[in-house]
Amino acid sequence: QVQLVESGGGLVQAGGSLRLSCAASGRTVSSYPMGWFRQAPGKEREFVAAINRSGVTRYNVDSVKGRFTISRDNAKNTVYLQMKSLKPEETAVYYCASGPSRALSIGTRPSEYDAWGQGTQVTVSS
């Protein structure tokens, strides 16, 4: 059974930074694609970033443009999302997700991931 537990969300002022963590159990983060998504009220879940088992990363370039960095700590079996220069419109629940396959492809759609965390709220005040 795969469990993903996010932490690190909170309230931050515009321009501030946060680092989200996703602790995994039941699946090795270095062997499967791991992603971050976010969902604001009334909006669809949006791809933010992902990393595959080779360490290749992919970002929603239009949205995060070099401000966000996804990484992982294999020893801790944890994935991180470092977020800088946050904007009020990035207020959302942020979800960690894991893909079911060890393929090298990096999915950007929620349907390409089969395990999800409960989410962590990020609120950016103006």
Find the mean pLDDT for residues 71-96: 97
At 104 the pLDDT is 83
Answer whether 91's CB lies under 8 Å from 18's CB: no
Residue type, 73: D
pLDDT of 62 reads 84
DSSP state of 109: S
Strands 78-83 and 57-59 turn out to be unpaired
Q: Output 15 or 65, whichever has higher pLDDT.
A: 15
pLDDT of res. 89: 96
What's the mean per-residue pLDDT of the chain?
95
- State the average pLDDT over residues 17-40: 97
Mean pLDDT of 99-124: 92
> pLDDT value at position 100?
85
Cβ-contact 37, 99 below 8 angstroms: no
What the block records as the tokens of 39 is 């969902």
Reported confidence tier of residue 103, pLDDT bands at 50, 70, 90:
confident
C-alpha Rg value of the chain to the nearest Å: 13
Q: Return the minimum-mean-pLDDT range out of 22-26, 46-50, 104-108.
A: 104-108
